[in-house]
Structure formats: C-alpha cells, structure tokens
Amino acid sequence: MNVLASLAAELAPLEFLPMNGRDLEAIMAIETRVYPFPWSQGNFADSMKAGYACWVAREGGQLLGYMVLMPSLDETHLLNISVAAERQGRGYGARLLRFAMEVSRVGGATSMLLEVRPSNARALALYKNYGFQVIGRRKGYYPATEGREDALVLRRDLGEVAA
C-alpha cells in the first residue's frame, strides 16, 4: 500500500457503535471469512446478552470490524477483535485495538488480557507494537486443521492509551 492510501485509511472517520442484533449478519459475513474456526452467531448474541462490551466499527455506514470485551473487576479480556478481510493491512485493526483499550480504561480496567494463536504473526506484531507482553501459554486452546493449537496469553497495563 502506498503512503497516501495508508494515511487516508488512518484519517478516515470511523464510527464506533454498540453492537446490536441487526449487526449479526454483517459480523458473521466477516467472521466466517477471516477465521477458519469462527465464532457462531450465538456466541455474539450471548456476549451481548451477558452485557459484555460489544462494539462495531463503521466507515461510511459499512461495518468493517468489531470487538467483544469482557470486563472483570479491574481487567478486561479481549475475546474477539476482527477486521473485514478486504480492509486488513490498512490500520483498522490498530484503530479498533486503541478504541478497545480506551473503552476498557474509561470503564475502570487497569489491564487487558487476550489470547492469540502463535501462528497469527500479523496479530502478534500488532499486539506487541501496542505494548502487550506474553505472560503465558494455554495448551491446545484453539481448534486447528490437525488437532489443536496453543494460545499465547498476552497482557498490557492500560494506564495512558497511546498510539
């Protein structure tokens, strides 16, 4: 991507809105395209029903990403964060992550926890760029084409959220 396209993507207005049932069809279209083992529509519906912080990101009215955050005392667990396949690599994931961290911080969380596949190099690079550190490993956490894949557990203090 050239520098101007990257800058335009960074400056384009994103609208962050609470997720609702009307979003589920668009969410599932993204989820099933970007993950070999996607969440079900019921997973998203249950997360909203449970009162988790569920957000969508829209640009020009089009849903391009979403996140599900589970607050727990002074920590937030980032359960799902996704960007539409055709929008990846343009800085939207970073913008979603910054928003997730700020929502969590404003909500009283002092840290964020997440799991990521060791094979997901792009996500690992993003998280490390934003100060997340590996604090553990969950054996056989994710389904995989052949057997199971471990998850790396990452954590970040939320103090001041900066790019």
Taking only the tens place, the pLDDT of each residue in 101-150 is 999 999 999 999 999 999 999 999 999 999 999 999 999 999 888 899 99
Closest of 107, 124, 102 to residue 115, by C-alpha? 124
Q: How confident is the model at residue 25 (pLDDT cuts 50, 70, 90)?
A: very high
Q: How confident is the model at residue 159 (pLDDT cuts 50, 70, 90)?
A: confident
Query: What length is written for the chain?
Result: 163
> From CA 58, how far away is CA 99, in angstroms rounded?
13
- 14 neighbors 95 (Cβ within 8 angstroms): yes
DSSP state of 24: H
- 149 neighbors 142 (Cβ within 8 angstroms): yes
Q: Where are the domains of the chain?
A: 3-157
> From CA 123, how far away is CA 117, in angstroms rounded?
9
Q: How confident is the model at residue 34 (pLDDT cuts 50, 70, 90)?
A: very high
Q: Residues near 7 by Cβ (< 8 Å), separated by ≥ 6?
A: none
Q: How do beta strands 75-83 and 111-116 pair?
A: parallel
Choose the catalytic residue: 127, 130, 142, 149.
127
pLDDT in tens, 92-111: 999 999 999 999 999 999 99
Residue 99 is encoded by which pair of tokens?
Answer: 């928003």
Q: Which residue has the higher pLDDT, 3 or 100?
A: 100
In the chain, the percentage of residues whose pLDDT exceeds 90 is: 83
E-state strands within 4-147? 15-18, 53-59, 62-72, 75-83, 111-116, 133-143
Choose the catalytic residue: 59, 102, 115, 141.
115
Q: Please report the pLDDT score of residue 13 as a whole number.
A: 84
Average pLDDT, the chain: 91
Other Cβ atoms less than 10 A from the Cβ of 112: the count is 25
Mean pLDDT across 67-72 = 96
Q: Please report the pLDDT score of residue 156 as a whole number.
A: 97
115 in catalytic set: yes
The domain defined by 3-157 folds into: Aminopeptidase (3.40.630)
